[in-house]
Structure 1
Amino acid sequence: MKGKGSYKLIILFGLVSLISDFTYEGAKSIIGPYLFTLGASAVVVGFVSGISEFLGYFLRLVSGHIADKLKAYWFLTILGYAVNLFSVPLIGLTKNWKVVALLMSLERFGKAVRTPPRDVLLSFITQKVGHGKGFGLHEFMDQVGAILGPLYVALMLGFGYQLAFVSLFIPASLAMLLLAWIKRVYPEEEVERVSSKDGVKNVSLSGDFLQYLAASSIYALSFLPFPIVSYHLKASGFTDMSIPVLFSLAMFSDAVFALLFGYIFDKYGVKSVAFAPLLSSVASPVILYLSPILGLLIWGGSLGIQESIMRSAVASMVAESSRGRAYGIFYFSFGLFSFLGSLALGYLYSLEPAYMVLWSVLLGLISTSILVLLRV
């Protein structure tokens, strides 16, 4: 596949992600305040956020293995997107936080099914243009949707939380129609072809990869999930409409950093990922004690690096034939420690916010140090 054709497909996949993020990031921007209005505590919000993320990441281990074994990259991608997207508007049909938690888990289940096979497809496509630039461009488009979705939801809150969620059925349907169209114009045999000339050894269980897993897992322990951030903003007196707007601002930062660090990654390699935990360790004290707006810009930058070149690093270290499993292992590890981190962060916040900040800063700096010491 030539460079121009690769960019075209990256953009098409990016459009699907743009509309998808419009849907579920729009919902995510108000899920914390919605749970607050339903009577959930900070510990419950942390648990709901953590368990849904954990289940999603755990199932990626299975999805990645199945994708490699059956080469069913397209089937799993489409199935996962369908479950992922159509779970979101159903949240608007209930006022029971337990049912909301179940639907959040179902949405994460769908994302778990589609993410490893979709990332394998993207790793094939980005081979010609550079994994950093390719994944960075995809994440940039992804975050355009993450900016617009919360802004749309903020406007819809004038009609109430439930209608805001239900109305997201429209973009969910558009994303599925576009994905089906891409499948028609992108031959199955081409995306499932595995090259033996990519020059990358199968190092999915090498010392370097395990060191990378350790660093990313510690980072996951330290990273503040937005439901806890939004819970803090709500408890601090921010209005319901202002919180999704602030989330959009963070997603703008995410998009800019994803595109910027895509180019940085292709030039400087895996060590550039170290900026993700470094920025995260700065963001938490700034959000709580200095400026929530500045803190969310920094937080969004960390997330942009996390969601773009952390994936690029896996593609650069692992052969194509094993990438589904490698992505599954990576996402499982990241999700497990995100879950544990969410529980710890929510609990520490309920005791004393300063404890949560200290946890986030120390672990972020440890992760940064491990990544800087990587030999790849």
Structure 2
Amino acid sequence: MRVHRRHLHRRSLTEVPPPQRLSAWRFIMAFGAVSLLMDFVYEGARSITGPLLAGLGASGAVVGIVTGIGEAAALGLRLVSGPLADRTQRFWAWTLAGYALTAVTVPFLGLAGALWVASFLVVAERVGKAVRSPAKDTLVSHATAVTGRGKGFAVHEAMDQIGAVIGPLTVAGVLALTGDDYAPALGVLAVPGAAAIVLLLWLRARVPNPASYEIVPVSSVPRSTASERLPRAFWVYAAFTASSMAGFATFGVLSFHLVQERLVPTAAVPVIYAAAMAVDAIAALATGWLYDRVGARVLAVLPFLAAATTVLAFTRNAWLTVAGALLWGAAVGIQESTLRATVADLVPVGRRATAYGVFAGITGAATFVGGALTGALYDVSVPALVVTVVVIQALALVLLLITRPPRSSNA
């Protein structure tokens, strides 16, 4: 598999980059701060989704299906939002709309008194991610053309995870103080949500056209249309990603296991999630650094992490389960950073939002399969769950080796 670079040309030493009010690194850091605040919001909520749904009468299968649908919506709907972002070129508007939807829905989740209402809000929050992500990833990818794909996306993801640590810890603290009352625990998340929107508006005013960070101006690249084909290398890479995600459990199922088996108190679940998010940040930085040196071959570690997560996380030993949760965080860190960096290297800039949307749609379907499959197997047989996931990840590893993934454009 080779990266298609016919649309990319190196900047000569005599060329002067287009003026920007913020450097590429400062843009990434500022966008990272927005993501930090929003991860504070939605990761705080996601850390207790399993226990919250269980408290409203959900079974393991229902938790797996709801969280699987949520993740599928967050990814699958990008099949629509990605191409629309490319066609309209209104990347900031799509980003703002998606963040606003998440900021509004999360505080109301704590007030849900019925399982169907809570399930709807869980999915609605994920829809917000679907609306914003292709546009947001495209905006960030422009700056990574200067900083290095792997490092740029890794730093952005690491800042995400600072919020992903603070949010669950905040929720855990409020739960402990209020006797597991979800309303104030989730209501407090309205504050960082509002702050994120304000910061995003400021960033848009400072850098209205991030595309000028690119080595080749976007205006010189033909705009994509629905009839244009994405590179073959992209499709093969998406197949590997989908196979890996189809054998990956959601944290909703994992946290359900923690509570149902009484391995930890409910208030401790967000703390475990926060620790997993800290590991997420470390894994993102490590694999991002390696990606800029050896390319997507570093992704070979992903199937091993996904398989080991299931082997450890669904035991009845609290320490092994926590270890599995930490490995889960490492796998998510790679999924959220290095997987996205590879897409930017595989697809020309004029079709990048479309590619992110299609890529997310494919992996979203696989994520739904993974959530529903692991939840259903958990209710039937944990050993069957473990064996199934290990087999799927072994197949994913074989597919990755067959595809011969590309080297980074910065390698």
Bin for the TM-score computed over the shorter chain: over 0.9
1:182 aligned partner: 203
- Candidates 390, 393, 396, aligned match of 1:361: 390
User: How far has the Cα of 1:189 moved from its partner?
Assistant: 7.1
- Equivalent pair of 2:230/2:347 in contact (CA under 8 Å): no
Residue aligned with 2:57, SS = coil
Taking a change above 3 Å as real, the CA distance of residues 124 and 242 of structure 1, as seen in their structure-2 partners, is same
Instruction: Tell me whether 1:301 sits opposite 2:301 in the alignment.
Output: no
TM-score norm. by structure 2 comes to 0.87
1:55 aligned partner: 73
Map 1:114-193; keep pairs closer than 5 Å.
114-157=132-175, 158-159=177-178, 160-188=181-209, 190=211, 193=217
1:136 and 1:369 map into 2 onto residues whose CA distance is 26
1:29-82 deviation digits (Å, cap 9, x = unpaired): 011001111111111101111112222222111110011111111110111110
- Candidates 114, 122, 128, aligned match of 1:104: 122
1:136-166 deviation digits (Å, cap 9, x = unpaired): 0000000111011100100010321111111
1:225 aligned partner: 250
Map 1:18-97; keep pairs closer than 5 Å.
18-97=36-115
1:300-348 deviation digits (Å, cap 9, x = unpaired): 1111001000000100100000001100110000001111221111111
- Candidates 271, 287, 291, aligned match of 1:261: 287
- Equivalent pair of 1:276/1:303 in contact (CA under 8 Å): no
2:218 aligned partner: 194
2:37 and 2:402 map into 1 onto residues whose CA distance is 38
User: How far has the Cα of 1:373 moved from its partner?
Assistant: 2.7
- Candidates 343, 350, 367, aligned match of 1:338: 367
More helix by share: 1
Map 1:235-254; keep pairs closer than 5 Å.
235-237=260-262, 238-254=264-280
1:222 maps to a residue whose letter is G
2:126 and 2:185 map into 1 onto residues whose CA distance is 20
Residue aligned with 1:94, SS = coil
1:272-322 deviation digits (Å, cap 9, x = unpaired): 122122211111111123611221221111110010000001001000000
Instruction: Tell me whether 1:348 sits opposite 2:374 in the alignment.
Output: no
Supply the RMSD in Å over aligned alpha carbons.
1.8
1:57 and 1:271 map into 2 onto residues whose CA distance is 24
1:246-292 deviation digits (Å, cap 9, x = unpaired): 11111110000001111101111122122122211111111123611
1:254 and 1:204 map into 2 onto residues whose CA distance is 33
2:155 maps to a residue whose letter is L
- Equivalent pair of 1:57/1:331 in contact (CA under 8 Å): yes
2:218 maps to a residue whose letter is V
Taking a change above 3 Å as real, the CA distance of residues 119 and 328 of structure 1, as seen in their structure-2 partners, is same
1:287 aligned partner: 313
1:316 and 1:223 map into 2 onto residues whose CA distance is 25
1:166 and 1:347 map into 2 onto residues whose CA distance is 31
Taking a change above 3 Å as real, the CA distance of residues 287 and 70 of structure 1, as seen in their structure-2 partners, is same
TM-score norm. by structure 1 comes to 0.95
- Equivalent pair of 1:273/1:306 in contact (CA under 8 Å): no
2:101 and 2:390 map into 1 onto residues whose CA distance is 35
Map 1:4-19; keep pairs closer than 5 Å.
5-19=23-37
User: How far has the Cα of 1:93 moved from its partner?
Assistant: 1.7
2:219 and 2:388 map into 1 onto residues whose CA distance is 43
Residue aligned with 1:93, SS = coil
Taking a change above 3 Å as real, the CA distance of residues 28 and 191 of structure 1, as seen in their structure-2 partners, is farther
Structure 1 gaps, min length 5: 198-202
2:333 and 2:147 map into 1 onto residues whose CA distance is 20
- Equivalent pair of 1:59/1:109 in contact (CA under 8 Å): yes
Taking a change above 3 Å as real, the CA distance of residues 195 and 273 of structure 1, as seen in their structure-2 partners, is farther
- Candidates 204, 213, 216, aligned match of 2:238: 213
1:315 aligned partner: 344
Q: Whose Rg is larger? A: 2
Taking a change above 3 Å as real, the CA distance of residues 209 and 189 of structure 1, as seen in their structure-2 partners, is closer
1:249 and 1:354 map into 2 onto residues whose CA distance is 26
- Equivalent pair of 1:204/1:326 in contact (CA under 8 Å): no
Instruction: Tell me whether 1:374 sits opposite 2:400 in the alignment.
Output: no
1:200 aligned partner: none
1:368 and 1:15 map into 2 onto residues whose CA distance is 34
Residue aligned with 2:146, SS = coil
Q: Report the number of matched residues.
A: 371
1:211 maps to a residue whose letter is V
Sequence identity percentage: 38
User: How far has the Cα of 1:191 moved from its partner?
Assistant: 5.4
User: How far has the Cα of 1:190 moved from its partner?
Assistant: 4.6
